[in-house]
Amino acid sequence: MDYAKMANMSRWLRHPAMGDPSFDTFRKIGATVHRSDYPYEWAVNGSLFIDSDNTWYLYAGLYPDKYLHRPNCTSHFEVYRSPDGGQSWEWLGEKLDAKYLFNGVKNPSSSCPDVVLFYDEKRGKYLLTYDWSTDNSSWEVAHNYAASDADAGAAVAWADSPAGPFRRIPQTVFRNSLLQGKYGRFDRFYATTVIPRKNDYLALILCDTGPNYAWGLAGSTAPTPEEGFSEPVMLLNADLPTYYPAPMEFYPAFVVGDTVYAPATSVCANRNYQVLFKAKLEEAHLPSAWRMAQDGSLWHARPLSDEKYGLFGQTINGAVDGRGNFNVMYAAKDERDCGTLSVATRRWDEPFSDGFTISGHAAPSVTLLRDAYRSFTLEAEFALHGGFADILFDFHGKIGANRPVSDCAPNDDSLSKYTALRVSGQIWSLVKDGQMILTGRAARGIRSVRLERGEHTLKAWANGECLFSVQSATEASAPIGIRTDRFTVLDVTRFDVSGDAGHAVFHYNDADALLGGGVGDINFTIENGRRRGSKRVKWNAVCSGFTLHGPMGPGLAKARVRVDGRDVGEADFSGESPKEGAVFKSGVIPYGPHGIELIPRGGQIIVPDMIAEV
């Protein structure tokens, strides 16, 4: 089976912290449109609008480095225009007045980043949504505006042309000072898309939770923007009982036909995993209307200095043109750690192709086959850019992040507990459990490898040249996979494995359960390296059964176990003396994506690991 064929792309593990082998077909158009520089080093938000005459407009959201609040350096947007489908761009500058005092807000606002544009047929005008914060705002009050005279939110403005100038309306879409405290741990709302509908206007709003490291999508409606929007309703977040990869950050949304799409991107450090949700536009204010349209394979990185840190700040945004091309703007960071904005395209109805890309950026990536092998022959062809890549097997590490926070990396076990042929330019190495066993140099840059794993031997070739033949006792069936180093891109055109394939078993760690449940370490204490607490946790996994395995002992509680919102039993962590073992076994469940929740009953548990049968 050639696992580089798009027909087999579902056989790969995709995970927000571990990474995503993407089979997408996007290609970059022209040169980078905007490169950031001091004092606005982080242009990492923006949007693309294509007018009816096929003129393209890019709205670049400019921030100081790391979203800092600098005196006299206000985040804002600037406009670019392209007459030739993104090949060349003209800078049009800023198109919104510098300072404004909204209705009900005590202090003026000069900021206006995070811009999205739609054409409103009802008015024959262009509607611009943007973020704002008062000039006395700071990160110290961002999650508690009610205790300050600062404020932040979203607003809209109108124009007769996509090029502006735009005229603000004084009524805000929302104000954080009026929302905080009403949505549990979700206490900051921002990055909003307002979309005209037949009889009203829909606002889709990104929200987050501070130290819980969870993000979500909320929605509200208004008869007109001038009349004001309803209080938001939570649409998508980690509280959902079904399969919902996390941590994922939304913004911005786009519309194709009668459907609105909300892409979300992982905020883990390898920055290469995205999910796409969708709903009928006229029903999108209802939580029940939303479905996952695509899990992974939305985007791949290129070995370009302008995209060193991968997709960053937000996910892709754009539109489908009259010829069926999906044209998007995307934000990245370059080798200076400064934001870049570019455009790319693919056929809307041809999202995938044979061959995939797996990349690591500020962290490595690891992907695994959902099939396990004992003895096998593997032939791979690829182009490696950057550091090194491991063609790995006998994987016995864990799935999940090293910490339940943003910018997390794959856990240490996942980066060491396997055997691999490591390639880097002409250099090859045999690596086992993090230790280099053999090393050498090929005659030229390595672009193909062959591994033969028999009952007692392991043989390897590179570019047709034999590298080694060593004694190697065959272990139990285990996943085969790929690891890419930091700031490394691997384009794979062939990954052909022959042998007796079985079902893989994946071991997920406790940090994965915290990220999956949208709860941070702030809710737990650490005992002997394990997390103890009473909060709900959740794994999101594609599997046909699972076992929860962890510590039991005095003073620990029982917990409900739910699969996709349905109670399936109880895990018992209590015991007369400390011990380690299985606290719950699911038995066989239908193979597919599942949300697996663990909800303590009247006490604390030590968060277990989950062993999932694929």
Query: What is the C-alpha to C-alpha distance for residues 350 and 87, in angstroms, rounded to an integer?
Result: 22
Mean pLDDT of the chain, nearest integer: 96
What superfamily would CATH give domain 524-613? Galactose-binding domain-like (2.60.120.260)
Q: Is the pLDDT of residue 70 over 90?
A: no
Confidence (pLDDT) at 275: 97
Shortest CA distance to 20 belongs to which of 358, 369, 248? 358
Query: What is the C-alpha to C-alpha distance for residues 571 and 582, in angstroms, rounded to an integer?
Result: 9
Q: Encoding tokens for residue 155? A: 């607003």
Q: Encoding tokens for residue 195? A: 């979309």
Confidence (pLDDT) at 43: 96
Q: Encoding tokens for residue 528? A: 């002997």
285-295 in b/e form (b: 16+ CB < 10 A) is bebebbebebb
Q: Tens of pLDDT along 134-166? A: 999 999 999 999 889 999 999 999 999 999 999
Confidence (pLDDT) at 474: 78
Question: Could you give the 3-state DSSP secondary structure of residue 397?
Answer: coil
139-153 in b/e form (b: 16+ CB < 10 A) is eebbbbbeebebbbb
Neighbouring CB atoms inside 10 A of 559's CB total 28
Q: Is the pLDDT of residue 82 over 80?
A: yes
Query: What is the C-alpha to C-alpha distance for residues 87 and 215, in angstroms, rounded to an integer?
Result: 35
Mean pLDDT on 47-70: 95
Q: Encoding tokens for residue 559? A: 């917990």
Per the confidence metrics, is the pTM higher than 0.95? yes
Q: Tens of pLDDT along 460-517? A: 999 999 999 999 887 799 999 999 999 999 999 999 999 999 999 999 999 999 999 9
Confidence (pLDDT) at 490: 98
Q: What angle do CA 595, 599, 601 make, to 5 degrees?
A: 160
Asked whether the beta carbons of 412 and 400 are under 8 A apart, the reply is no
- Kindly indicate the confidence band of residue 613, based on its pLDDT and cuts at 50, 70 and 90: very high
Mean pLDDT on 228-236: 98
Query: What is the C-alpha to C-alpha distance for residues 417 and 481, in angstroms, rounded to an integer?
Result: 12
Q: Tens of pLDDT along 182-213? A: 999 999 999 999 999 999 999 999 999 999 99
DSSP 8-state class, residue 240? -
Confidence (pLDDT) at 116: 98
Q: Say which CATH topology domain 36-350 has.
A: Tachylectin-2; Chain A (2.115.10)
Per the document, the length of the chain is: 614
Q: Who's near 44: CB < 8 A, 6+ residues apart?
A: 61, 63, 312, 313, 314, 331, 332, 333, 339
| Fold agreement between 36-350 and 365-505 | no
Q: Tens of pLDDT along 422-467? A: 999 999 999 999 999 999 999 999 999 999 999 899 999 999 999 9
578 half-sphere exposure, CB direction, 13 A CA radius: 5
Mean pLDDT on 86-114: 95
Question: The tokens 């929007």 sit on which residue?
Answer: 229
Q: Tens of pLDDT along 387-435? A: 999 999 999 999 999 999 999 999 999 999 999 999 999 999 999 999 9
Q: Tens of pLDDT along 522-572? A: 999 998 889 999 999 999 999 999 999 999 999 999 999 999 999 999 999
Query: What is the C-alpha to C-alpha distance for residues 547 and 147, in angstroms, rounded to an integer?
Result: 45
Strand (E) or helix (H) holding 64: none
Mean pLDDT on 335-354: 98
Shortest CA distance to 129 belongs to which of 117, 120, 121? 117
Query: What is the C-alpha to C-alpha distance for residues 520 and 405, in angstroms, rounded to an integer?
Result: 7
Confidence (pLDDT) at 126: 98
Return the CATH class of domain 365-505.
mainly beta
Q: Starting at the earlier edge strand, list the strands of the sheet with 592-601.
A: 537-543, 592-601, 558-563, 566-572
Shortest CA distance to 394 belongs to which of 469, 470, 453, 449? 453
Q: Is the pLDDT of residue 74 over 90?
A: yes
Domain residue spans of the chain: 36-350, 365-505, 524-613
Q: Encoding tokens for residue 391? A: 């063609």
